[in-house]
Amino acid sequence: MLEAKLAMSEAMVRVRFAPSPTGYPHLGNIRTALFNWVFARHNNGVFILRIEDTDIARLVEGVADVILGSLRWLGLDWDEGPYFQSQRLELYREVADRLLKQELAYQCYCPTERLESMRQEQIKRKQPPGYDRRCRNLTREQRAEMEASGIIPVVRFKTPLEGQTSFNDLLRGQIIFENSTLDDFVLLKSDGYPTYHLANIVDDHLMAISHVLRADEWLSSTPRHVLLYQALGWQPPQFAHLPMILGPDRAKLSKRHGATAITEYREQGYLPEVMFNFLALLGWSLDDKTELLTREEIVRHFSLERISRTAAVFNKDKLDWMNGVYLRGLSAEEFSRRAMPFLEKDLPMEVNRPLDTDYIRQIMPLIQERARTLAEVPQLSEFFFIDELEYDIGLLLGKIEKAEAIKSLQASAVRMDGLKDWNAASLEAAFRPLAEELKLKTSAFFGLLRVAITGRTAAPPLFQTMEVLGKGQCLKRLRGALDKLEIR
């Protein structure tokens, strides 16, 4: 008995992510997916993936796959689907037919040109755009006449002319719309495809969706949906319209604020667990202060009550910081594994592929501290892989006279050559005294060595770097640097 009850209450949460594949999924889309997924997992519910691909004029090839790939990347696994609305057209037509039969919908024969000029006129007069209901009360004869002339009609919903439509938004409370502000919206287009409104509610009903968590831009569609549910005698799901995401300037987040497509963050070397953590905090919080949360913690603590009522602000610096924290928290092994595809892709062509995994395992701990994203790793570690460095003479000399630099590098080569143990500690033990012998400040001498060994002034700790590069390569680099100085 108890078990049956439990099973029932568990079955109660059924949510869906229902993207339209009309453009690359952006942060806002994926935040919606994530909130739905987390809500489902928190409640032992079901997360359904449904591709709303009925607006064929706006479909973008390949985007559905990108959406699926992005969800997989973030670990947002779905329990049902993906359903494609384009494969379910019959279902929507049946419902449209039923509404027609019950005279809750009607066929509209108005040509596009008429609708367009009406729209222009409304804009000019600063009236809200909407259909003027010319076909709402056509007689049977008038309809037959239209049909005979070969016009293919659209099906429109007969929105009540008076009264109010209200619903309870779980985040915003009671929302009331005056029906007079809603027009007779299209349900079925002349190409036989349903509109978003029709397909969306038919599927939410057939898929027994319990909660609709979606972006607040859809709020104005909800009264239409509620009217449709009422007309069909169906129980509407519960609605929660999620807070908007703003850029740092408090304008709606857009391309202007940098990358918005989720795939770009992947390419830029942000970790999926970071994106998960970061997106979860765009509109939800545990306690208004905790920033670092694992997926499990988010699932455990997630609740609609803690979704903010006000817009969330996207903070790129916070994302970068978070990525750095997570990167440093990875084991060296794991960091190397994750960095590998970036190295394969972005190290200069001259570096032989496939890359040597053992060598990379030695290098990566030195890079891990410094990288904010995985995409920075190739640039930060490039000098480990390049056989012959290009030296900038200005960098090489720094604050040291040329003759002095040459002398120091020569002495360094001799010292290196004589070293038996090649490790960071023995290198340091050999080179610290050498600065003194050369009568150079340690910082100046090590600076010179650093440029000779790495070609740059900012690099990981010098002696650890030398240890990884190995004696042969370090000697070769000293000679390379000497050549550069001597030729000049």
Residues 38-57 that bind ligand GLU (CB under 6 A): 52
- Of 16-24, 281-289, 386-394, 476-484, which segment contacts ligand GLU by CB under 6 A? 16-24
* Phi, psi torsion values for 435, nearest 5 degrees: -55, -45
At residue 209's C-alpha, the angle toward residues 25 and 276, to 5°, is 35
Edge-to-edge strand list for the sheet holding 154-157: 105-108, 154-157, 186-188
Q: Which of 14, 15, 19, 39 binds ligand GLU (CB under 6 A)?
A: 19
For 173-208, the DSSP string reads EEEEEEGGGS---EEE-TTSPBPHHHHHHHHHHHTT
18 binds ligand GLU (CB under 6 A): yes
CB of 381 to ligand GLU, least distance (A): 41
**Spatial CB neighbours of 283, under 8 Å, sequence gap ≥ 6:** 31, 35, 242, 243, 245, 307, 308, 312
Q: Kindly tell me which of 165 and 200 has the beta carbon lying closer to ligand GLU.
A: 200
Residue (of 15, 82, 3, 48) closest to 302 by Cα position:
15
- Of 12-20, 125-133, 318-326, 441-449, which segment contacts ligand GLU by CB under 6 A? 12-20
CA distances from 90 to 94, 109, 234 (A): 6, 22, 19
184 binds ligand GLU (CB under 6 A): no
Of the listed 5, 124, 126, 255, which one is catalytic?
255
Q: Kindly tell me which of 13 and 347 has the beta carbon lying closer to ligand GLU.
A: 13
The Cα–Cα gap between 41 and 39 comes to 6
- Of 15-23, 178-186, 230-238, 317-325, which segment contacts ligand GLU by CB under 6 A? 15-23
Q: Kindly tell me which of 189 and 450 has the beta carbon lying closer to ligand GLU.
A: 189
CB of 125 to ligand GLU, least distance (A): 31
255 in catalytic set? yes
200 binds ligand GLU (CB under 6 A): yes
Q: Kindly tell me which of 59 and 393 has the beta carbon lying closer to ligand GLU.
A: 59
Annotate 386-401 with b (16+ C-beta within 10 A) or e (fewer). Answer: eeebebeeeebbeebe
Q: Which of 73, 218, 234, 422 binds ligand GLU (CB under 6 A)?
A: 218
The catalytic residue positions are 255
Site residues (vs ligand GLU, CB under 6 A):
18-20, 52, 196, 200, 214, 218
